[in-house]
A and B are shown apart, each in its own frame.
Chain A
Amino acid sequence: MAARSRTRVLILLAAAITAAVVLIQNLPRPEPAPEELFPTGEMRIAVDASNPPFAVATADDLFGLEIDLGEALADHFGLPARFVNMSFDGLYDSLKADQADLVIAMLTIDPLRTGDVLYTRHYFDAGLVLVSPLERPIQSMRELAGHRLAYEFGSNADTLARRWLRRIHPFETAPYELPSYALDAVRFGHADAALVDAVSARLHLREHQWQAALHYVTNNWYPIAVPIDEVARWQALNRALQILDDNGTLDRIITKWL
């Protein structure tokens, strides 16, 4: 009898210790101070200012969607932003050489780099979209059968359209010289849908005040990169991006430029 009650006590004790450990693990921890995350006292952001409308350089200034995003993130942490402009070749090395704290430069997750950097959640998806009239929306490859698809000749959309032609019932193809022509073909009723990248689509819709159905068919997510050993910085940036998304700041920045 005594042995049984001792066993019961031991089981209860083990359960209590386990519960305590789980509880402690999941207790909200205070976020490190910005100065701990960015030891230089400023947020050093590597950008490639040769990609409008994401980042562009003039003689003495930088502007674009990614510049605004960098400033919004720096504001969130209460630090000044310092942008380090460089070509694509130097972006990842700038983290390794401690020339920058993070990279915001139309990066796509590169599996070969995941041993060196951590990627945050994405701030934009530049994948291919199907653009069609609101009253006759086409949302996927399957729905294209028997319709006419416009796209830019030689582009990734062209490559994808050629692949689709081998996979689904025939549809008519309408290659154009520019993505804006492919979108005009839908707007003017010469095609049922256009397959273009999301940036071209958003710019065209905005320029022509055109309400159209827009559905992603591929994804090209742009995340932020930080050095792999800066886990706290990575977590803090993820939280900051989530907050900017939730409070509408990210959407306002995207809408400003696209």
Chain B
Amino acid sequence: MIIAAFLNITLTNFVMNRNSGDITPSGIQYPDKQTRLFRLVAADVTIAGMIAADSWLRTSLIRHWRWYLRLGIAWFVISQLGAIGPRAPLGPQQVVNTQHPIVCVHTRLIDEVWEWKIQRTLQLVREMGADTIVEFFPWAYIESTQDYYDWEPADRIIRHAENQGLKVIARMGLVPGWARPRDSTLNYLPENAFDELAAFVADFAARYAGVVDHIIIWNEPNLAFEWGYRPIDPAAYARLLEAVYAPAHAANPDVVILAAGLAPTLEPEGSPNGLNDILYLEQLYQAGGGNFFDALAVHTYGFTEPPEAEPAFDRLNFRRAELLHEIMTHYEAGDKPVFITETGWNDHPRWTKAVRPAQRIQYTLDAFRYVEANWPWLEKLCLWAFRYPAPTYSYPDNFEIVTSDFQIRPIYYAIQDYALHREGNTDLWLPAPEPAS
């Protein structure tokens, strides 16, 4: 009985303490009540099992004490080996040092398997001089069963972001199976599930208030793929914003609701693939959507043009964001801020929409300088993408700033020098070589 009680206490402590107890400066405590309750039940089941095994153990122990001793030694060795594996305890609270708070990056952490990789990625973000990240928190991951929330995938990102002194702009999306028709895609959100999503957003906003005060509702709803392969419908998206707006503010009065970043595209009216982002935003305002967001998220890519290239309705380049902002100022006072949550250049050696690596660095730095000088309405310029959890083995990898295996690409150092105001006068590369005379 004494042995059973001892083992029980050890196991209970083990179960209760593993991965628990991180209390961050904002007071967010991990893990949540449901997980703790589950662990308590698990501990009680352990106690019952131990009591049942007790009488058998007492007789068996005397007869086979040598084997129990060996088992004990083996258990100790294995538990010590387990401790060698990578862990990610929170370190001292960090503060981001930056001279250019416009610098921001889009991370891809939700699919990361190892917590230490989340921590390392966010350390690198902070050291680069970005004080904000954009991250995706799929509804389908967190509430895969109706009314049962598994916050752990989100918790581990938020606690490390907070520990690194980073703010988080959260993007909501992906519909769990229970909230959509059978055989529909993860991006299919039926109108009768708008309130379900709104309830999830409100819970999210309340849970992470203080660290996450900016929430983007959906992603690129002007693409058929992102709208569940249904006809593009700005009025339906306006109704979605309306459904979310009040519950989110009731849950966190400081929350800023952002209308989704639209995909930069020239698809005409009636196209099965999508709708021109300029037309979509205009129709969103005409449907009354402007009353239900506090800021606009924008996606704008430079492709092969420099950041200063003139924008046009029928042209995709960096300054297309100005055309979207013009629509905002046409329909309202224009005092709503804009967050560019996806931007950048690609330096794949063969892709026709890519530039050379040196150009990519130059264009990226010039873009930061341009927006700071010319776009007072812009809050953040977030580069796509800081690092992927796994390589795609194609041109999307050349949007990365740090590779999946943590190779730091030269653009990282260039952005870091800019953010920390360490830019020197030394040239980054040599002039074109001339034939020897």
A residues neighboring B (CB under 8 Å): 50-52, 54, 56, 88, 106-110, 112, 152-155, 158-159, 162-163, 174-179, 181, 184-185, 188-190, 197, 199-200
Contact = CB atoms under 8 A, between A and B. Distances in A.
Nearest to B352: A50
A10 B411 CA distance: 73
Contacts of B7: none
Name the interface size band of chain B.
20 to 34
From B347, B357, B391, residue with most partner A Cβ within 10 Å: B357
A162 B429 CA distance: 14
Contacts of B407: 159, 163
Interface string B397-437: 00000010001111100000000000000001110111110
B66 interface: no
Contact of A52 (B350, B391, B410, B432): B350
7 contacts: A56-B352, A159-B410, A177-B432, A178-B358, A181-B432, A184-B432, A188-B434
B350 A153 contact: no
Contacts of A158: 357, 410
Given A54-B350, A185-B433, A155 B394 contact: no
Interface in B343-366: 347, 349-353, 356-358, 360-361
A217 B373 CA distance: 44
A197 B347 CA distance: 13
A154 to B, nearest CB: 3
B350 A184 contact: no
Given A154-B356, A189-B436, 4 more contacts: A54-B350, A108-B393, A158-B410, A159-B410
B368 interface: no
Nearest to A159: B407
Nearest to B394: A88
Contacts of B396: 88
A247 to B, nearest CB: 27
B79 interface: no
B395 interface: yes
B112 to A, nearest CB: 14
Nearest to A55: B350
B390 interface: yes
B374 interface: no
B80 interface: no
Contacts of B408: 159
